[in-house]
Amino acid sequence: MAPGPFAGPQAQQAAREVNTASLCRIGQETVQDIVYRTMEIFQLLRNMQQLIPYVEEDGSKNDDRAGPPRFASEERREIAEVNKKLKQKNQQLKQIMDQLRNLIWDINAMLAMRN
């Protein structure tokens, strides 16, 4: 078979341009996927932040020590409430970590399939 009009350096240049364009498109899609998923994570974190009260809001409880002495049962109840909130927050953090882990796995899988 006779070489076509794109034989030699011209054929290599054309192939390089196609590969560069394909790589750019694939890279753009990958970056868009990463940005989209990152935005999803930040939206989840923003929604969770509304559920978790700030420490400053709870700081007023410590200021009433100058008042009348508190009973041990009341302190135990407060400790139990704090423990309950702590367990809930730990569960929320575990869910976030699981979602991030899954996201990283997905990104790695996408990158591996493109290579």
Structure tokens at 21: 């364009």
User: Domain residues for 89?
Assistant: 69-114
**Does 3 map to a domain?**
no
Q: CA-to-CA distance for 25 and 35, rounded, in angstroms?
A: 15
- Global pTM value: 0.36
Structure tokens at 19: 């590969």
**Does 64 map to a domain?**
no
Structural domains of the chain, count: 2
Q: Average per-residue pLDDT in the chain?
A: 77
- Could you give the residue ranges of the DSSP H alpha helices within the chain? 9-51, 55-58, 72-114
Q: Above pLDDT 70, what percent of the chain?
A: 66
Distances (CA, A) of 59 to 24, 68, 70, 78: 52, 18, 17, 13
**pLDDT tens-digit profile of 6-51?**
556 666 666 666 678 788 888 899 999 998 998 888 888 888 777 6
Task: Give the pLDDT of residue 1.
Answer: 45
**Does 7 map to a domain?**
no
**Does 84 map to a domain?**
yes
**Does 59 map to a domain?**
no
